[in-house]
Amino acid sequence: MLSAAATLLGQETKLRVIAFGAHPDDCDIRAAGSAALWTQAGVAVKFVSVTMGDVGHQTMYGEPLAHRREGEAKESARRLGIEYDVLHNHDGRLLPTLDVREQIIREIRQWNADVVLAPRPNDYHPDHRYTGVLVQDAAYMVVVPYLIPEVPALRKNPVFLYYEDNFQRPNPFRPDIAVDLDDVIDKKVEALDSHVSQFYEWLPWVDGKSADVPKDPVQRKSWLKQTRTRAIKPDVRASLIKWYGAQKGEAAKYYEAFEICEYGARPDEARVRQLFPMLGN
Ligand SMILES: [Zn+2]
């Protein structure tokens, strides 16, 4: 009886996080380390790519590329212990339409999300920008019962968080929450390593750096770790110290940071610690 009650309680209280990216690799870049830590803490995590990523390559496109990238996303999910969905919208052609907004609302409701992650709506890439807009547009509508009545509305609005970016206008990213990734950085690299078509082919090609990509699988991962992590800026360091205390916050080498969106639920410090059990108390 006790264990059944505990299981029931566990099901009721298990936290649920859903992350949106425009392409199958975007969520990984911004949140794979946090996903690994959440999973270790028993939190259910799902990544959603809003497009199929079907033009993100220099020698292949369309259905074969979409199929390859979906396989890479599923491999990343397997390595992280999460779920990964790819929505059937075309890469490079995403618009903030009612149709796609409703796809996003359905995903958030069906996942019964406590936390929703998304890009900010200012970005060089139109798909990233509109993914940010689409998730903002869903932020209130997820609780409205007669919008998409066949998928029950949430009774509690989730907390919406933005991924870190470097764009300064109209306002720079604010690292309200910073997660220390030192224990899981290799796991994050493993997730990125799943996206072979991107990190070892397309992105180096776009940057004119194809020759820099190591051939050896082990060297590739250390190259990823070097080139896909960034130095900690003072505002991120201050956030790490706020959440982890001086000793751990000063020592952290790898991180992911998030900004609390003004829409959706507004968490206080205690609620942030509940939603991010890896921060400790
Ligand atoms: Zn992208």
Count CB atoms within 10 A of the CB of residue 262. 9
CA 30 to ligand 1 centroid distance, Å: 10
CA 193 to ligand 1 centroid distance, Å: 16
Q: DSSP secondary-structure letter at 264?
A: E
Please tell me whether residue 81 adopts helix, strand or coil conformation: coil
The angle subtended at Cα 273 by Cα 79 and Cα 82, nearest 5°, is: 15
Name residues with Cβ closer than 5 Å to ligand 1, which is an ion: 22-23, 26
Peptide bond into 170 cis (omega under 30): yes
Residue 64 CB burial class (10 angstroms; 0-12, 13-18, ≥19): exposed
pTM for this model (two decimals): 0.95
- What pLDDT does residue 220 have? 97
Residue 45 CB burial class (10 angstroms; 0-12, 13-18, ≥19): buried
CA 149 to ligand 1 centroid distance, Å: 31
DSSP per-residue letters across 190-231: HHHHT-HIIIIIIHHHHTT-GGGS-SSHHHHHHHHHHHT--P
- What pLDDT does residue 202 have? 98
Would you state the torsion angle of the CA atoms of residues 68, 72, 74, 75, taken in this order, to the nearest 10 degrees?
Answer: 130
CA 182 to ligand 1 centroid distance, Å: 25
CA 128 to ligand 1 centroid distance, Å: 6
CA distance 49 to 45: 14
Q: Which residues pair with 161 in a beta bridge?
A: 117, 260
Tens of pLDDT along the chain (281 residues) come to 344 444 444 455 799 999 999 999 999 999 999 999 999 999 999 999 999 999 999 999 999 999 999 999 999 999 999 999 999 999 999 999 999 999 999 999 999 999 999 999 999 999 999 999 999 999 999 999 999 999 999 999 999 999 999 999 999 999 999 999 999 999 999 999 999 999 999 999 999 999 999 999 999 999 999 999 999 999 999 999 999 999 999 999 999 999 999 999 999 999 999 999 999 77
- What pLDDT does residue 235 have? 98
Which token pair is 161?
Answer: 């968080």
- What pLDDT does residue 123 have? 94
- What pLDDT does residue 12 have? 57
